[in-house]
C-alpha cells in the first residue's frame, strides 16, 4: 500500500487498481470532462460518445437543465426521508403516470435498475400472496433467456444468462427462463405457481433483441387467462430511448396489437445520469406494496426527483423524442449503403441500435484471432482508438446508444468514424 498523501503523481489506472475492487473489466482510459455528445480523456483527447454511460446520459454530458436543477434544488433541500411527504417526488410521479405512461397507477422510486426490478419481483409475489394466500405458492416469475435484470440477488436470479449466476448459489428460487419470443415455451411455462411474466421489450445486454408483437400478445393473453402480472423491464429501452416514452409502444406501433402492462421498471436514462430507478404499478395492483412492505432510504429524494423531473421535462418539451426517430432514420439510411462483410445487419429500435457482426468475416480480420477478444470487444476497441465510444452487447453485437438529443452532424461524424473502422477491418 502506498502512503503518499498526494495522488496527483499516480496515474488514474494505477490508483484504480490499487484501491478499487476489480469487479469490472475497464478500458484503459479515464475521462476528465464531458460536454454534450463528447468526452475528453485525461490526456486531452476528445471522443464522440455513442455509449452515453451505457444508455444513461439521455441529454448528453453535463446538460444545462441538469446543472440548473442540481444547483437550485441543492440550495433548498437535498435529502429528506420518506417519513415525510416530498413535493418533488410527487411531481415526478405525476409526470410518470400522466405523461410517460398515460395509464392510471402509482410510482415507487429507488436508485438503480436492479433495485427497480427487485421491487417488481416483490410486487408480483406480494400481490399473489395477498390474493391467493401463502398455501398457493404463487411466487414464480417467468423471464427470458438472454435477458438482463441487474446484479442484486433478485436481479441475477431473474436474469436469463448463466454467466451472471456462477458462484452465487444458493440463488433466489422461483424463476423460469423461456427462449425470447418463443410463444409456445411461454405458454408451457405458465402454471398455477406463476405470479408474473417479466421481460425487456428490447433486450440490451443480451444483444439488442426486440420482442415480437406476437410475444407481447401471448404474454398479455396469459396474464388475462391466469390472473398474473405482466411486467416490462424498461431500464435500458425506456424513458425515450426508442423515440417514445415507452419502449413497448414503439415496438408495437403499426402491429395492430395493443398491450398494456401491469408494472414497469426504469433506471439508466430516467434521470439523465443522476442515480435513480423507478417502478410504475397500475392502480389495480398498487395496493400490494402498502406501508412497511418495501422502501429505500435514498428513494425519491428531493434532489434526485428534481433532477429527473428536469431531464424528463426537457425530453418532453425539447423535441427530443422526435429527434430519436429522425437520427435513427439517418443512421439506418447511411448504413443501408454500406457493404462490409463483417456487418451482418443493423437491428434495434430508436437510438438503441446493434451492429450484428459476422463471425466468419471477423475470423478473416488481421489480428482478430490473435487478440483472443470477442468480436464485439475487438470492434469496440478499434472504434475507441478512432475516437468513437460504443458498447459491446454480448459477444457479437456492437451497440450504439448516443444521447437522445444527438445532432445530425454528430451522427454523421460517428458514421464516418465507424465506416473508417469497418473499412480498416476489411483491409480497404
CA–CA separation, 99 and 88 (whole Å): 16
Q: Least CB distance from residue 423 to ligand PLP, whole Å?
A: 31
Is 148 one of the binding residues for ligand PLP (CB under 6 A)? yes
Question: Which of the stretches 167-175, 186-194, 198-206, 374-382 binds ligand PLP when contact is defined by CB under 6 A?
Answer: 198-206
Give one DSSP letter per residue of 69-93, joined into a string: HHHHHHTT-S---TTS--HHHHHHH
For the chain, what percentages of helix, strand and coil (3-state, to nearest 5) are there? 40, 20, 40
CA–CA separation, 91 and 69 (whole Å): 14
17 CB burial (10 A radius; 0-12, 13-18, 19+)? exposed
Q: Which of 328, 324, 360, 321 is closest to 344 using CA atoms?
A: 360
From 198, 235, 401, 414, residue interacting with ligand PLP (rule: CB under 6 A): 235
Question: Which of the stretches 32-40, 102-110, 233-241, 289-297 binds ligand PLP when contact is defined by CB under 6 A?
Answer: 233-241
Q: Which of 220, 146, 141, 214 is closest to 183 using CA atoms?
A: 214
Question: Which of the stretches 94-102, 199-207, 312-320, 342-350 binds ligand PLP when contact is defined by CB under 6 A?
Answer: 199-207
Q: Least CB distance from residue 11 to ligand PLP, whole Å?
A: 27
Is 113 one of the binding residues for ligand PLP (CB under 6 A)? yes
Q: CB nearer to ligand PLP: give 119 or 383.
A: 119
| Locus of grid cell 396489437 | 257
Question: Which of the stretches 41-49, 147-155, 190-198, 380-388 binds ligand PLP when contact is defined by CB under 6 A?
Answer: 147-155
**Alpha-helical runs (H) found in 229-356:** 247-252, 302-317, 320-336
Question: Which of the stretches 67-75, 95-103, 112-120, 352-360 binds ligand PLP when contact is defined by CB under 6 A?
Answer: 112-120
CA–CA separation, 69 and 303 (whole Å): 8
From 105, 150, 201, 302, residue interacting with ligand PLP (rule: CB under 6 A): 150
Q: CB nearer to ligand PLP: give 267 or 346.
A: 267
Q: Least CB distance from residue 426 to ligand PLP, whole Å?
A: 31
Q: Least CB distance from residue 112 to ligand PLP, whole Å?
A: 4
Residues that bind ligand PLP (CB under 6 A): 112-114, 117, 148-150, 200, 204-205, 233, 235-236, 267
Amino acid at each position: 500500500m502506498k502512503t503518499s498523501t498526494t495522488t496527483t503523481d499516480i496515474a488514474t489506472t494505477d490508483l484504480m487498481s490499487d484501491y478499487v475492487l476489480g469487479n469490472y473489466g475497464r478500458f484503459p482510459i479515464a475521462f476528465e470532462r464531458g460536454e454534450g455528445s463528447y468526452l475528453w480523456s485525461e490526456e486531452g483527447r476528445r471522443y464522440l460518445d455513442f455509449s452515453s454511460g451505457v444508455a444513461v446520459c439521455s441529454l448528453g454530458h453535463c446538460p444545462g437543465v441538469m446543472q440548473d436543477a442540481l444547483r437550485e434544488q441543492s440550495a433548498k433541500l437535498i435529502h429528506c426521508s420518506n417519513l415525510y411527504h416530498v413535493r418533488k417526488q410527487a411531481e415526478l410521479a405525476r409526470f410518470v403516470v400522466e405523461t410517460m405512461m398515460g395509464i392510471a397507477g402509482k410510482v415507487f422510486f429507488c436508485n438503480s435498475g436492479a433495485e427497480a426490478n427487485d421491487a417488481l419481483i416483490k410486487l408480483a409475489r406480494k400481490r399473489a400472496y395477498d390474493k391467493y394466500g401463502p398455501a398457493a405458492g404463487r411466487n414464480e416469475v417467468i423471464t427470458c433467456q438472454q435477458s438482463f435484470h441487474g446484479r442484486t440477488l433478485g436481479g441475477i436470479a431473474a436474469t436469463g444468462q448463466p454467466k451472471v449466476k456462477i458462484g452465487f448459489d444458493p440463488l433466489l428460487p422461483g424463476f423460469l427462463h423461456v427462449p425470447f419470443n418463443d410463444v409456445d415455451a411461454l405458454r408451457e411455462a405458465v402454471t398455477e405457481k406463476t405470479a408474473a411474466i417479466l421481460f425487456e421489450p428490447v433486450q440490451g445486454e443480451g444483444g439488442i433483441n426486440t420482442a415480437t408483437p406476437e410475444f407481447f400478445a401471448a404474454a398479455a393473453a396469459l396474464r388475462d387467462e391466469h390472473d398474473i402480472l405482466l411486467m416490462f423491464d424498461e431500464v435500458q429501452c425506456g424513458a425515450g430511448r426508442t423515440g417514445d416514452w415507452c419502449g413497448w409502444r414503439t415496438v408495437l406501433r403499426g402491429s395492430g396489437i395493443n398491450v398494456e402492462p401491469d408494472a414497469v421498471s426504469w433506471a439508466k436514462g430516467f434521470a439523465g445520469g443522476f442515480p435513480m430507478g423507478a417502478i410504475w404499478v397500475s392502480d389495480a395492483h398498487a395496493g400490494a406494496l402498502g406501508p412497511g412492505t418495501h422502501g429505500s432510504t435514498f428513494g425519491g429524494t428531493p434532489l434526485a426527483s428534481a433532477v429527473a423531473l428536469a431531464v424528463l421535462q426537457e425530453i418532453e418539451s425539447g423535441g427530443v423524442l422526435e429527434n430519436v426517430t429522425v437520427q435513427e432514420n439517418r443512421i439506418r439510411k447511411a448504413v443501408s449503403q454500406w457493404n462490409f462483410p463483417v456487418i451482418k445487419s443493423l437491428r434495434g429500435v430508436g437510438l438503441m441500435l446493434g451492429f450484428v457482426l459476422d463471425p466468419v468475416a471477423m475470423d478473416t480480420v488481421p489480428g482478430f484471432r490473435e487478440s483472443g477478444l470477442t468480436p464485439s470487444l475487438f470492434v469496440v476497441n478499434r472504434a475507441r482508438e478512432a475516437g468513437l465510444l460504443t458498447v459491446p452487447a454480448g459477444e457479437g453485437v456492437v451497440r450504439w446508444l448516443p444521447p437522445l438529443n444527438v445532432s445530425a452532424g454528430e451522427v454523421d461524424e460517428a458514421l464516418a468514424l465507424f465506416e473508417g473502422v469497418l473499412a480498416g477491418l476489411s483491409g480497404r
